[in-house]
Homo-oligomer: A and B are copies of this chain.
Amino acid sequence: MNSQRVLNITTTLITRIPCGGSQFPARMASSGAEKLLNMQNINPNVLTMEYAVRGPIVIRAVELEKELAKGVKKPFKNVIKANIGDAHAMGQKPITFIREVFLYKILSCLSNPSLMDKGIYADDVVDHAKTILGDCGGHSAGAYSQSVGVDIIRKHVADYIKRRDGGIPSDPENILLSGGASESIRNVLKLFINRKASKPAGVMIPIPQYPLYSATVEEYGLGQVGYYLDEDNGWALDVEELERALKEHECKFDVRVLCVINPGNPTGQVLSEKNIEEIIRFAYKHRLFLMADEVYQDNIYGEGCAFHSFKKVMCSMGEPYSKMELASFHSTSKGYMGECGMRGGYVEVMNMCPEVYTQFKKMISAKLCSTVLGQAVVDCVVNPPRKGDPSYDRWVSEKNAVLGSLKERAKLVQEAYSSVKGIECNPVQGAMYAFPKITLPPKAIEKAKAMGKPADVYYAMELLESTGICIVPGSGFGQRPGTYHFRTTILPQPAVMKDMLERFTAFHTKFIRENS
């Protein structure tokens, strides 16, 4: 066959062309050595999106771990991963109530319902599992749940929110369960994409921010409207700066969304009630849809700090504020639980236009549903023991121990970094991170420039290669031009933390000396 012969000749000719650089017409056949999907024609937004929390530094850290395991000599014995809020991976013990008392029994009943008739588990466990299965198709966790989640679990979440907010009602119909909070955040942002609009929708996000936001905004082709947090003022969120940022970007984007992370990630500040009121007024004035990332709502350490949900503040302000559109996110991954791998999360949607909400539910239905077992983990987290329950005292003491230890480490980290010359670190009032500022000598900045790298990336890579400490450079979160930072978690256990801070101080002193 003639065309086949032509193909074969072509094949021979182009065998050596790498996949990165096609100069061939789009419809010309190749050997496969020249790839159909290549770096020239891949989704450009995928190319430009960055998710630093799992970026190149972290990939190198994993390689180093593997090298160490193979016996390769390094100037350190182990890698310390302070890059991600992954509590269990950093040695935090799961809560006994969740794991040993409740969850595994519920999961066992969900995955093997025959256990429920065998008298193995207490009646309350069996009843609870039966209640969940009663809302599952065919009474099986193997059936798809509703796309919004299992009804009874949505109700339990609503009850939990109502207790959290001092009795302000929460409607289960407004709760949508998802595989972690990230999925919900991405789902809500997706509603604002409009390829046909003259200007993309602008999304206000803090600088520094959690890179899920910048990555998603970039992936979706939305407009990033960064507002700076005030580092000199403990990373405060200043409404004047919101006004400035909005004004600066209004010509380029149709600014429609305001994202607030409270407690802050990577910055650790906790917003006061008064500050939240101002932010709500700002959003009202400028007709911005509010997204409140409140996944660290249990992680409050600062003296005099307390968590106030946007919903509670909005409701207590009365109309018109109480009627504003808001999406608030929570997760099983953070808090004292740290159940990241279970992928449990939800969004509570307030005052959304009913027709839009119908469209939203239609949109997520194409993904069918989030994991029923992950939903069961959410159920467990929002159903902790109550006073009088046999597990109550132990649960309280473990919860307090985890949060107390995080509070100590928050203080330890801030004090340790602040004591190093050339480093400034704000107090960590909440969440799981510190975001210290490093003053880098001009020589280091020049070196990095010559290598085509941001100076903080160069610094972080040097730190990793010299000490095994894996942190994330500030450029992955955003920072004021000319300033350099890094994000470190406060999750390493106390002994590891001490080791980490010693390694860090020695490295930093040497780095500054060598580059001065």
Give chain A's interface residue range (CB within 8 Å of chain B). 35 or more
Which B residues lie within 8 Å of A27 (CB)? 286-287
A305 interface residue (CB < 8 Å to B): no
A424 interface residue (CB < 8 Å to B): no
With A19-B356, A355-B39 in contact, is A33–B285 under 8 Å at CB? no
Nearest chain B residue, comparing its CB with the CB of A367: B182
A330 interface residue (CB < 8 Å to B): no
Contacting pair A368 B32 (CB below 8 A): no
A87 to B3 Cα, complex, angstroms = 47
Q: Mark A333-345, 1 if CB is under 8 A from B, else 0.
A: 1000111111100
Instruction: Give the residue of B19, B31, B371 whose beta carbon is less than 8 angstroms from that of A355.
Output: B19
A99 interface residue (CB < 8 Å to B): yes
Which B residues lie within 8 Å of A143 (CB)? 86-89, 340-341
Nearest chain B residue, comparing its CB with the CB of A350: B32
Give A181-230 interface residues, CB cut-off 8 Å to B.
182-183, 186, 190-196, 211-212, 215-216, 219, 221
Contacting pair B138 A38 (CB below 8 A): no
A42 CB, min distance to chain B CBs, angstroms = 5
A480 to B26 Cα, complex, angstroms = 30
A267 to B160 Cα, complex, angstroms = 45
A74 interface residue (CB < 8 Å to B): no
Contacting pair A341 B43 (CB below 8 A): no
Known pairs A54-B366, A99-B114, A144-B333; list 4 more (Cβ under 8 Å): A7-B320, A37-B352, A37-B353, A212-B366
Interface residues of A, Cβ cutoff 8 Å to B: 3, 7-8, 11, 19-20, 26-33, 35-39, 41-47, 49-51, 54-55, 84, 86-92, 94, 99-100, 103-104, 107-108, 111-115, 136-138, 140-145, 147, 179-180, 182-183, 186, 190-196, 211-212, 215-216, 219, 221, 254, 256, 284-289, 319-320, 323-325, 333, 337-343, 351-356, 359-360, 362-363, 365-374
